[in-house]
């Protein structure tokens, strides 16, 4: 089976193969930094993957290497289009639309795996944080730059990072703006494994295939449960939405709808009050 192009975009590539979607930021000359258009395109592709019943896993990665030989997952917001109130697109409107993308990746009931080769920096680092799993190439470099370049992500970028690596380490990452290599990232639990760069995609496919053998409903409920632990009412909404989905799939749930449509009283007496 080979990757099939799903749709053609300007800033990203979008492929599918056998239950797996692959979304690639394609601006290697900018170390895959994102402008508003990049984020809109990513959002569109992630929505498609979310809606596709055949897709269970999304691999999220960056195109590379660039002509100078360097790799990047994503170097965050494109500073060359940063205006006074966000990143400015062709329409002249300043935006921080990457926050919408973060929420989509976090809440979609499919597993999103970041494949990081080279730099995952700034808002690009937060994008890998938000993914369910991260597979790092041996050349991966991680870090935040906000306090150096006049920015910060106090949302998932701070609080969820701290859940992953602990408060002390998260504060170090943000306050010192250092860069960390793949093995340091592995040591602090920031990534799931490290592989040679040439094996990155194959490893991602292997993990995806292992996940695809598992129960879709079990995985979606687990993702929602992990999220609910940190995400307050939005997390509970996600988790409870799965309970509603499962309830709709029961005879008991269907009886309510059927009775309404048949203009009769529902007969719930036939269903047990389980202990
Ligand atoms: C990523 C890093 C460390 C790579 O360094 P190096 O030395 O390998 O490459 P270089 O020469 O800096 O970059 C190569 C080309 O990519 C562009 C550069 O300007 C350069 O272009 P040319 O000079 O060749 O034309 N480039 C790289 N990153 C870019 C960026 N983010 N925006 C625009 N152009 C970029 C090094 O490049 C680096 O530190 N990059 C900046 C990382 C950064 O600070 N990102 C923004 C953080 S804030 C953010 O992302 C954010 C947020 O905090 C909250 C909400 C939303 C977004």
The CA 145 to ligand 1 mean position distance, Å, reads 9
What's the whole-number mean pLDDT along residues 104-121? 98
The proportion of the chain whose per-residue pLDDT surpasses 70, expressed as a percent, equals 100
Nearest protein Cα to ligand 1, atom 49: 123
Residue pointed to by tokens 């896993």: 57
The CA 94 to ligand 1 mean position distance, Å, reads 19
Q: Is 146 in the pocket of ligand 1 (CB under 6 A)?
A: yes
The proportion of the chain whose per-residue pLDDT surpasses 90, expressed as a percent, equals 100
Q: Is 234 in the pocket of ligand 1 (CB under 6 A)?
A: no
Ligand 1 atom closest to Cα of residue 30? 16
Assign 1 a pLDDT band (cuts: 50, 70, 90).
Answer: confident
Instruction: Work out the mean pLDDT of the chain and round it to a whole number.
Output: 98
The CA-based angle 41-53-5, given to 5 degrees, is 45
At 246 the pLDDT is: 97
Gap between the Cα atoms of 256 and 266, Å rounded: 6
**pLDDT beyond 90 at 30:** yes
| Positive/negative CA dihedral, 212, 215, 217, 221 | negative
Dihedrals φ, ψ of 196, to 5°? Answer: -55, 145
- 115-171 pLDDT per residue, tens: 999 999 999 999 999 999 999 999 999 999 999 999 999 999 999 999 999 999 999
**pLDDT beyond 80 at 23:** yes
Q: Is 36 in the pocket of ligand 1 (CB under 6 A)?
A: no
Residue 161: which residues within 8 A CB-CB, separation 6 or more? 126, 129, 170, 173, 174
- 32-78 pLDDT per residue, tens: 999 999 999 999 999 999 999 999 999 999 999 999 999 999 999 99
Residue 242: which residues within 8 A CB-CB, separation 6 or more? 109, 217, 220, 221, 224
Q: Is 73 in the pocket of ligand 1 (CB under 6 A)?
A: no
Distances, alpha carbon 216 to alpha carbons 49, 92, 109, 161, 213, in Å: 14, 42, 9, 26, 9
What's the whole-number mean pLDDT along residues 187-196? 98
**pLDDT beyond 80 at 231:** yes
Among residues 61, 55, 154, which one has the least CA distance to residue 108?
A: 55
Nearest protein Cα to ligand 1, atom 40: 75
Asked if 48 contacts 58 with a C-beta cutoff of 8 angstroms, the reply is no
What's the whole-number mean pLDDT along residues 181-198? 98
Nearest protein Cα to ligand 1, atom 30: 78
Three-state DSSP string of the chain = CCCEEEEECCCEEEEEECCEEEEEECCHHHCCCECHHHHHHHHHHHHHHHHCCCCCEEEEEECCCCCCCCCEEECCECHHHECCCCEECCCCCEECCHHHHHHHHHHCCCEEEEEECCEEECHHHHHHHHCCEEEEECCCEEECCHHHHCCCCCCHHHHHHHHHHCHHHHHHHHHHCCCEEHHHHHHCCCCCEEECHHHHHHHHHHHHHHHHCCCHHHHHHHHHHHHHHHHHHHHHHHHHHHHHHHHHCCHHHHHHHHHHHCCCCCCCCCCCCCC
Ligand 1 pocket mutation pick from 32, 33, 69, 181 by most atoms within 8 angstroms of CB: 33
Q: Is 103 in the pocket of ligand 1 (CB under 6 A)?
A: no
The CA 199 to ligand 1 mean position distance, Å, reads 25
Among residues 1, 62, 54, 55, which one has the least CA distance to residue 26?
A: 62
């Amino acid at each position: 089976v080979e990757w099939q192009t799903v749709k053609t975009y300007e800033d990203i590539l979008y492929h599918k193969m056998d239950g797996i979607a692959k979304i690639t930021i394609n601006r290697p000359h900018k170390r895959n930094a994102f402008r508003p258009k990049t984020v809109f395109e990513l959002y569109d592709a992630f929505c498609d993957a979310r809606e596709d019943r055949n897709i269970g896993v999304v691999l999220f990665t960056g195109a590379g290497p660039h002509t100078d030989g360097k790799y990047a997952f994503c170097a965050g917001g494109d500073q060359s289009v940063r205006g006074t109130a966000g990143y400015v697109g062709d329409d002249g409107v300043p935006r921080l639309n990457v926050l919408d993308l973060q929420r989509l990746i976090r809440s979609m009931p499919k597993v999103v795996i970041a494949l990081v080769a080279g730099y995952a920096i700034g808002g690009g680092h937060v994008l890998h944080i938000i993914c369910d799993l991260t597979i790092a190439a041996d050349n991966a470099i991680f870090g935040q730059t906000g306090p150096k370049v006049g920015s910060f992500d106090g949302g998932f970028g701070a609080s969820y990072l701290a859940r992953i690596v602990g408060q002390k380490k998260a504060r170090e990452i943000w306050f010192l703006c250092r860069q960390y290599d793949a093995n340091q990232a592995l040591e602090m639990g920031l990534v799931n494994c490290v592989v040679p760069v040439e094996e990155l995609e194959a490893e991602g496919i292997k993990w995806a295939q292992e996940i695809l053998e598992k129960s879709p409903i079990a995985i979606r409920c687990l993702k929602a449960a992990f999220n609910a632990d940190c995400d307050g009412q939005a997390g509970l909404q996600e988790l409870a939405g799965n309970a509603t989905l499962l309830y709709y799939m029961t005879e008991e749930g269907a009886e309510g709808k059927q009775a309404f449509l048949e203009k009769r009283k529902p007969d719930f007496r036939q269903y047990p009050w389980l202990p």
